[in-house]
Amino acid sequence: MTPADSILFSGAAQGAEAAFGEAAERHGVQEVNFTFEGHNDARGRGIRVLTTAELQQGDVSLAYVSRLMHRRYPDTPLFRRVLQSIWHQVNNAREVFVVGKINDDKTVTGGTGVGAEYAKFFNKPLLVFDQARNGWFRWTGDDFEKVADPAVTQARFCGTGTRFLEANGRAAIDGLFARTFRR
Protein backbone atom coordinates (compact mmCIF):
# COMPACT_ATOMS: atom_id res chain seq x y z
CA MET A 1 0.00 0.00 0.00
CA THR A 2 1.30 3.42 -0.87
CA PRO A 3 0.00 6.33 1.19
CA ALA A 4 -0.37 8.64 -1.82
CA ASP A 5 -2.72 6.16 -3.52
CA SER A 6 -4.82 5.53 -0.39
CA ILE A 7 -7.92 7.34 0.84
CA LEU A 8 -9.38 7.30 4.33
CA PHE A 9 -13.14 7.91 4.41
CA SER A 10 -14.31 9.19 7.77
CA GLY A 11 -16.51 11.78 9.43
CA ALA A 12 -14.22 14.25 11.25
CA ALA A 13 -16.00 13.73 14.59
CA GLN A 14 -14.14 13.88 17.89
CA GLY A 15 -12.68 10.64 19.20
CA ALA A 16 -11.88 7.75 16.88
CA GLU A 17 -12.64 9.59 13.64
CA ALA A 18 -10.32 12.45 14.56
CA ALA A 19 -7.60 9.92 15.51
CA PHE A 20 -8.00 8.10 12.17
CA GLY A 21 -7.64 11.45 10.40
CA GLU A 22 -4.58 12.46 12.43
CA ALA A 23 -2.92 9.13 11.62
CA ALA A 24 -3.78 9.51 7.92
CA GLU A 25 -2.25 12.97 7.85
CA ARG A 26 0.95 11.81 9.61
CA HIS A 27 1.35 8.98 7.07
CA GLY A 28 0.53 11.01 3.96
CA VAL A 29 -2.80 9.26 3.32
CA GLN A 30 -5.55 11.26 1.58
CA GLU A 31 -8.56 11.99 3.75
CA VAL A 32 -12.24 12.55 2.90
CA ASN A 33 -14.40 13.53 5.86
CA PHE A 34 -18.10 13.44 5.09
CA THR A 35 -20.01 16.02 7.08
CA PHE A 36 -23.09 18.22 6.86
CA GLU A 37 -24.13 21.79 7.67
CA GLY A 38 -24.28 22.24 11.44
CA HIS A 39 -22.01 19.30 12.33
CA ASN A 40 -19.32 20.02 14.91
CA ASP A 41 -16.22 18.75 13.09
CA ALA A 42 -13.05 18.00 15.05
CA ARG A 43 -10.95 18.03 11.84
CA GLY A 44 -10.77 20.41 8.90
CA ARG A 45 -8.65 18.36 6.47
CA GLY A 46 -10.50 16.72 3.59
CA ILE A 47 -13.93 18.05 4.57
CA ARG A 48 -16.69 17.12 2.15
CA VAL A 49 -20.00 18.79 3.06
CA LEU A 50 -22.86 16.62 1.85
CA THR A 51 -25.81 18.29 0.17
CA THR A 52 -29.39 17.57 1.21
CA ALA A 53 -29.82 15.35 -1.86
CA GLU A 54 -26.62 13.44 -1.06
CA LEU A 55 -27.69 12.95 2.55
CA GLN A 56 -30.99 11.51 1.30
CA GLN A 57 -29.04 8.82 -0.61
CA GLY A 58 -27.96 7.40 2.76
CA ASP A 59 -31.37 7.62 4.42
CA VAL A 60 -32.39 4.46 6.26
CA SER A 61 -35.50 3.79 8.32
CA LEU A 62 -34.77 4.41 12.00
CA ALA A 63 -37.29 1.69 12.88
CA TYR A 64 -35.28 -0.76 10.75
CA VAL A 65 -31.96 0.36 12.28
CA SER A 66 -33.42 0.11 15.81
CA ARG A 67 -34.59 -3.47 15.16
CA LEU A 68 -31.28 -4.42 13.57
CA MET A 69 -29.29 -2.98 16.48
CA HIS A 70 -31.68 -4.14 19.24
CA ARG A 71 -32.00 -0.63 20.67
CA ARG A 72 -33.80 2.65 20.10
CA TYR A 73 -32.24 5.65 18.43
CA PRO A 74 -33.49 9.24 18.63
CA ASP A 75 -35.61 10.32 15.68
CA THR A 76 -34.01 13.74 15.36
CA PRO A 77 -32.75 15.54 12.25
CA LEU A 78 -29.20 15.63 13.69
CA PHE A 79 -29.04 11.90 14.40
CA ARG A 80 -30.53 11.10 10.99
CA ARG A 81 -27.84 13.22 9.28
CA VAL A 82 -25.12 11.49 11.32
CA LEU A 83 -26.37 8.09 10.10
CA GLN A 84 -26.62 9.37 6.53
CA SER A 85 -23.02 10.63 6.63
CA ILE A 86 -21.83 7.28 8.05
CA TRP A 87 -23.56 5.59 5.11
CA HIS A 88 -21.38 7.67 2.74
CA GLN A 89 -18.21 6.73 4.65
CA VAL A 90 -18.92 3.00 4.38
CA ASN A 91 -20.38 3.13 0.88
CA ASN A 92 -17.24 4.80 -0.53
CA ALA A 93 -14.83 2.41 1.19
CA ARG A 94 -13.81 -1.12 0.26
CA GLU A 95 -12.79 -2.03 3.83
CA VAL A 96 -14.09 -0.76 7.19
CA PHE A 97 -12.22 -0.25 10.48
CA VAL A 98 -14.19 0.59 13.63
CA VAL A 99 -13.10 1.39 17.18
CA GLY A 100 -15.69 0.75 19.89
CA LYS A 101 -17.16 -2.13 21.84
CA ILE A 102 -18.62 -5.37 20.50
CA ASN A 103 -21.81 -6.35 22.31
CA ASP A 104 -22.97 -9.87 23.15
CA ASP A 105 -25.55 -9.65 20.32
CA LYS A 106 -22.69 -9.18 17.77
CA THR A 107 -23.44 -5.50 17.23
CA VAL A 108 -21.18 -2.59 18.10
CA THR A 109 -22.23 0.03 20.66
CA GLY A 110 -23.73 3.38 19.63
CA GLY A 111 -24.04 5.11 16.29
CA THR A 112 -20.67 3.56 15.48
CA GLY A 113 -22.46 0.23 15.42
CA VAL A 114 -24.61 1.38 12.53
CA GLY A 115 -21.45 1.84 10.46
CA ALA A 116 -20.44 -1.72 11.34
CA GLU A 117 -23.88 -2.96 10.30
CA TYR A 118 -23.64 -1.07 7.00
CA ALA A 119 -20.30 -2.84 6.38
CA LYS A 120 -21.93 -6.21 7.08
CA PHE A 121 -24.90 -5.37 4.84
CA PHE A 122 -22.65 -4.22 1.97
CA ASN A 123 -20.47 -7.33 2.51
CA LYS A 124 -17.30 -5.29 3.06
CA PRO A 125 -14.40 -6.53 5.16
CA LEU A 126 -15.04 -5.29 8.71
CA LEU A 127 -12.51 -5.09 11.54
CA VAL A 128 -13.43 -3.77 14.98
CA PHE A 129 -11.03 -2.80 17.73
CA ASP A 130 -12.88 -3.59 20.95
CA GLN A 131 -11.50 -1.21 23.58
CA ALA A 132 -12.95 -3.29 26.45
CA ARG A 133 -11.27 -6.50 25.22
CA ASN A 134 -8.18 -4.65 23.98
CA GLY A 135 -8.03 -6.42 20.64
CA TRP A 136 -8.96 -6.43 16.95
CA PHE A 137 -11.81 -8.64 15.71
CA ARG A 138 -12.78 -9.50 12.11
CA TRP A 139 -16.39 -10.12 11.09
CA THR A 140 -16.56 -13.59 9.50
CA GLY A 141 -20.14 -13.35 8.28
CA ASP A 142 -21.45 -15.10 11.39
CA ASP A 143 -19.38 -13.83 14.29
CA PHE A 144 -16.38 -11.75 15.32
CA GLU A 145 -13.06 -13.61 15.40
CA LYS A 146 -9.96 -12.23 17.15
CA VAL A 147 -7.10 -11.26 14.84
CA ALA A 148 -3.62 -10.05 15.61
CA ASP A 149 -2.14 -6.91 14.11
CA PRO A 150 -4.32 -6.29 11.03
CA ALA A 151 -3.27 -3.95 8.25
CA VAL A 152 -5.25 -1.98 5.70
CA THR A 153 -5.52 -4.05 2.50
CA GLN A 154 -7.70 -1.77 0.34
CA ALA A 155 -6.68 1.66 -0.95
CA ARG A 156 -10.17 3.04 -0.18
CA PHE A 157 -10.94 2.37 3.47
CA CYS A 158 -13.19 3.71 6.19
CA GLY A 159 -12.10 4.57 9.72
CA THR A 160 -14.85 5.36 12.20
CA GLY A 161 -15.72 4.76 15.80
CA THR A 162 -16.60 5.97 19.23
CA ARG A 163 -16.36 9.55 20.40
CA PHE A 164 -15.05 8.11 23.69
CA LEU A 165 -11.65 7.01 22.44
CA GLU A 166 -9.42 5.42 25.06
CA ALA A 167 -5.62 5.20 25.02
CA ASN A 168 -5.69 1.61 23.74
CA GLY A 169 -8.05 2.62 20.90
CA ARG A 170 -5.73 5.42 19.84
CA ALA A 171 -2.76 3.02 20.01
CA ALA A 172 -4.69 0.52 17.86
CA ILE A 173 -5.31 3.16 15.18
CA ASP A 174 -1.67 4.29 15.27
CA GLY A 175 -0.50 0.66 15.03
CA LEU A 176 -2.83 -0.03 12.08
CA PHE A 177 -1.34 2.88 10.13
CA ALA A 178 2.24 2.08 11.14
CA ARG A 179 1.90 -1.56 9.97
CA THR A 180 0.23 -0.53 6.70
CA PHE A 181 2.16 2.58 5.73
CA ARG A 182 5.72 1.99 6.94
CA ARG A 183 8.02 4.71 5.69
User: What's residue 183's pLDDT?
Assistant: 56
Cβ contacts of residue 110 below 8 Å, gap of 6+? 100, 162
The answer to whether 9 and 92 have CB atoms below 8 angstroms apart is yes
Cα separation, 53 vs 63, in Å, equals 21
The answer to whether 5 and 155 have CB atoms below 8 angstroms apart is yes
User: What's residue 34's pLDDT?
Assistant: 97
Domain with 15 in it: 3-180
User: What's residue 63's pLDDT?
Assistant: 82
Amino acid at 119: A
Q: How far is CA 166 from the centre of its chain?
A: 16
- What CATH code is carried by the domain that includes residue 143? 3.40.50.450
Per-residue pLDDT of the chain (183 residues; tens, 9 = 90+): 899 999 999 999 999 999 999 999 999 999 999 999 999 999 999 999 999 999 999 888 888 888 888 778 888 888 899 999 999 999 999 999 999 999 999 999 977 889 999 999 999 999 999 999 999 999 999 999 999 999 999 999 999 999 999 999 999 999 999 999 985
Query: What is the domain count for the chain?
Result: 1
CB atoms within 10 A of CB 162: 24
